[in-house]
Chain A
């Protein structure tokens, strides 16, 4: 088989992408007939997703890795990264050439004002003797190796080209492996978890219909049908080669989440939650549409990458320019040293043509940046909706109404990951101001969700808020310039969060309740679940030995986020330290609520003996994926596996070096490699460790050892507790701000409808009726009826006349016959006489 990446990767990943679709289609049409109650539908879906995983693994290990050498890992080797850090495996000549070009470029800000590189170098002086070399090496990372092309062109409308295409780089392949692996685990787990749905009829104890529990047909096959479609949609986002395709699959993911969250749609809470998730996502998608339109209107393309030939080489015109540049190539051209400079098409025409304004703007370098900001924030709006960030985070905890495997999939690897992934994918298009917005949103989200998670007692809601909080971490990292850190955390989080959700599902499966206050001591009953969940908790709090490469997966990713926050705060100073503070405090809260959850569930005395007695360990089909995911949650981030190196291969063009703000002039996004400086690493590592330790210790004091009574704490902090228990009153606020006004407007419009439009229509109807009444009297009754009645009267009269002859008297009939005969004969003779004469 031809294993050259340019030909093999699109085929392999397309197969992996389309297998779940095939499974979906098959189950859609014949799902109910696959085995008893659709049981084989589950195996079909599992087969499809496992095959997709195997194909992704082939793509990763047989095609990608042998053909693309990994850069040297950083962990433990911070000192010489400046020399060895090559970024993407682009050829050195090219890189140096562009570096030189950067120095010659007249627009370069270095000479004029605070360059991000100079500043970074200045602040890193104490650690780096050769700071300038570091700057040169990272200043202009060229585009990463990627394979871009179209499978199918839907059509071209002027400049608008709609295609189904692919954009495959290291991030795509990594995401494929991660998504398919977790989806495989979730599918297998769901075979066990959804077993009840195989019963026909299924008894839904949470729905009361006419005083009885709802009985309905099992929906086992339908669940797997939706799961398959979900995986297909998510993989579609990951592999998409243009924004339009991303948007299509973005919406497909949204509708799949709607189906899955509303899987028990007979339950009112589930259908409401599904609606909420869908509607809230629409709000974000509106912003995303604006961002897409801004980008397309100014750049004239939806494509991520440049047009490539069959061998994966960029197609160039005769003059050496890129033939069909994608979004990123237009925003970060080689001429500009891969820095983000708005192209001429982004600058308003009058501005371009007016020398005065042009000179002024050029001096400030602001021309086109506002549009860039709008586009960036617009795209981010979509991510806010999908990844449940601060203003739109309200849907995700409610989405816990779906079955737990769905929660595990939606809240780890697929839907919420899509938002973070898209931010990562669009990273070259975000100007520093947009990144600041992302960081602020992420920071607010992480702290907000963490505080709510502390008081929640529903085991799945704790995990849901934990997810929101961790997504906030990722956004924060991305917003602070930590592209690798953010996506690194995305991948590690996917593993341990799916693990945690599936563990919680196992617990719920055993005790049939979500309420942690009814659990306790379950460790003895279900050890595998308990200890795999402990691994998940340790992974999410970032447990590890500080300053050594030993720890759970979260240790590496979370530390890199805190390092980046530290680097950012150190670079910008002042109020920017708040990001770091929130990240560290958030880490502490994460540790607290995660271990609160674990202690409340698995340790201590059982709170509800009835439920405890009935608890049991889940079947192997459920614990198997738990163990597998636990292994990944421990080890996936180990430096030996070079995950960060893999991500580094996909470092978006020109983003490794950070950037400096134009609209906010003193904003600097530090280059990511700077966060690996030993002094930052040391302090960040210690801060992360101590915060996590404090959190775990606090949880143990309250919930494990019982030194402090949680109820007393609740009493003391009652106002705060109430605030947190009510989730900062966000639902109430939105209800007051949006829902009630919307209902009010609706009522007003309804009143307008009834009062004005209906009135008008009724008036029209009355007019017509009046006219017809007049017409009726004048025309119908006289002319039409008169004509018809006259004809009828004639007929009637004629009938009456004829009736006289029907005397019924035999003798008269005889007379009539005789006379009739006589007249006929007379007529005959008369006629004959006339003819003869």
Chain B
């Protein structure tokens, strides 16, 4: 099945499912980054990956070239993706500032050191 899927993909246009698969991989990689990286900036990069993975789905659902009669977002998909990008930039700025502050205060960017919220 998988081989036929790949073979088809050379002659037939990709669908939403393919984009979703790529998005899922990026998403999971980001999430794993967040879960495994001890470096705060690594965590930040994981977040960017997660956001991008999600963004891919919006793009896929908003594209008419991938449409096979399922539910469509149309222009809304593009716009939401745009907003996500912008918000990701904002988030990155704030998160970086937090990281810098944390570094200033703790002389470290190891997120395992930031466990003051431990119950």
Binding site for B on A (CB under 8 A): 802-812, 814-815, 817-818
Q: Is the CB of B111 within 8 A of A806?
A: no
- Assuming the contacts A811-B111, A811-B112, asked whether A803 and B119 have C-beta atoms less than 8 A apart, the reply is yes
The answer, yes or no, to whether B43 is at the interface (CB within 8 Å) is: yes
B34 touches A806 (CB 8 A): no
Q: Which of B34, B37, B38, B116 contacts A808 (CB 8 A)?
A: B116
A-binding residues in B (CB < 8 A) = 31, 34-38, 43, 111-112, 114-119
Interface hub of A803, A806, A810 (most chain B Cβ within 10 A): A810
Q: Provided the pairs A810-B114, A814-B31 are in contact, do residues A805 and B119 lie with their beta carbons within 8 angstroms?
A: yes
CB distance from B1 to the nearest CB of A (A): 20
* Residues of chain A within 8 A of B114, CB atoms compared: 808, 810
Residue of B nearest to A816 (CB): B35
Cα distance A805–B117 in the bound complex, in angstroms: 11
Are A811 and B35 interface neighbours, CB within 8 A? Answer: yes
Question: If A802-B119, A803-B119 touch, does A810 touch B31 (CB 8 Å cutoff)?
Answer: no
**Contact of B112 with A814 in the complex, beta carbons under 8 Å:** no
B116: min CB distance to chain A, Å = 6
Shortest CB distance B44–A (Å)? 11
- The residues of B that contact A808 with a CB separation of less than 8 Å are 114-119
Q: B24 to chain A: closest CB distance in Å?
A: 12
A810→B31 CA distance, assembly (Å)? 12
Q: Are B38 and A807 in contact (CB under 8 A)?
A: no
**Among A803, A805, A809, A815, which residue has its beta carbon within 8 angstroms of that of B115?**
A809
List 8 additional contacts besides A810-B114, A817-B31; criterion CB under 8 Å: A805-B119, A809-B111, A809-B115, A811-B34, A811-B37, A814-B31, A814-B34, A818-B35
8 smallest beta-carbon distances between A and B, as pairs: A806-B119, A808-B118, A808-B115, A803-B119, A808-B117, A814-B34, A814-B35, A810-B111
Q: Is the interface of A mostly helix, strand, loop or mixed?
A: helix
A806 and B35 contact, CB distance less than 8 A: no
Q: Chain A residues near B111 (CB, 8 Å)? A: 809-811
Bound-state CA distance A815–B119 (Å) is 17
A814: chain B residues at CB < 8 Å are 31, 34-35
A/B interface sample: 14 pairs, CB < 8 A:
A803-B119, A804-B119, A807-B118, A808-B114, A808-B118, A809-B111, A809-B112, A811-B34, A811-B35, A811-B36, A814-B35, A815-B35, A817-B31, A818-B35
Q: Is B119's CB under 8 angstroms from A810's CB?
A: no
Chain A residues with Cβ under 8 A from B37's Cβ?
Answer: 811
Residues of chain B contacted by A804 (CB below 8 angstroms)? 119
Bound complex: CA A815 to CA B36 (Å) = 9
Nearest A residue to B30, CB-CB = A814
Q: Report the separation of the CA atoms of residues A802 and B118 in the bound assembly, to the nearest whole angstrom.
A: 11
Q: Is the CB of B115 within 8 A of A818?
A: no
Chain A residues, Cβ within 8 Å of B118: 806-809
A579 → B minimal CB distance (Å): 109
A809 cross-chain contacts in B, Cβ below 8 A: 111-112, 115, 118
Interface-centre pick from A805, A811, A815, A817 (highest chain B CB count, 10 A): A811
Cβ of A811: which chain B residues have Cβ within 8 Å of it?
34-38, 43, 111-112
- Nearest opposing residue in chain B for A799, CB measure: B119
In the complex, the chain A residue whose C-beta lies closest to that of B43 is A810
B106 to chain A, nearest CB (A): 14
Q: Which residue of A lies closest to B38 (CB)?
A: A811
Q: How near does chain A come to B2, taking the closest CB pair, in angstroms?
A: 21
A residues less than 8 Å from B117 (CB atoms): 806, 808
Closest residue of chain B to A811 (Cβ to Cβ) is B35
Q: Which residues of A contact B43 (CB under 8 A)?
A: 810-811
Q: How far is the CB of B54 from chain A (nearest CB, A)?
A: 12
Residues from chain B with a CB closer than 8 A to the CB of A815 are 35
**How close is B41's CB to chain A, nearest CB, in angstroms?**
13
A807 contacts across to B, CB distance below 8 A: 115, 118-119
Considering only CB atoms, which chain A residue lies closest to B46 in the complex? Answer: A814
C-alpha spacing A440/B111, complex, angstroms:
116
Separation in Å of the A819 CB from the closest CB of chain B?
10
How far is B113's CA from A808's CA once the two chains are assembled, in angstroms?
A: 9
Residues of B within 8 A of A812 (CB): 35
Separation of A812 and B37 alpha carbons in the complex (Å): 11
CA distance A809 to B110 in the complex (A): 11
Would you give the shortest CB distance from A120 to chain B, in whole angstroms?
119
How far is A817 from B117 in the complex, measured between Cα atoms in Å? 17
Nearest-Cβ distance from residue A810 to partner chain B, whole angstroms: 5
A807 to B, closest residue via Cβ: B118
Q: How far is the CB of A802 from chain B (nearest CB, A)?
A: 7
Question: What's the Cα separation between A810 and B38 when bound, in Å?
Answer: 9
Min CB distance A70 to B, Å, is: 113
- Of all chain A residues, which has the CB nearest B114? A810
Residues of chain A contacted by B112 (CB below 8 angstroms): 809, 811
Q: Once the chains bind, are A818 and B119 in contact (CB under 8 Å)?
A: no
Residues of B within 8 A of A805 (CB): 119
Q: How far is the CB of B103 from chain A (nearest CB, A)?
A: 15
Q: Which residues of B contact A818 (CB under 8 A)?
A: 31, 35
Closest Cβ–Cβ distance, residue B43 to chain A (whole Å): 7
Contacts of B119 in A (CB 8 A): 802-808
Least CB distance from A820 to B in Å reads 12
Q: A802 — which chain B residues lie within 8 A by C-beta?
A: 119
With both beta carbons as reference points, the residue of chain A lying nearest to B116 in the complex is identified as A808
Distance of A433 from chain B, by nearest CB (Å) = 103
Contacts of A803 in B (CB 8 A): 119
- B116: chain A residues at CB < 8 Å are 808
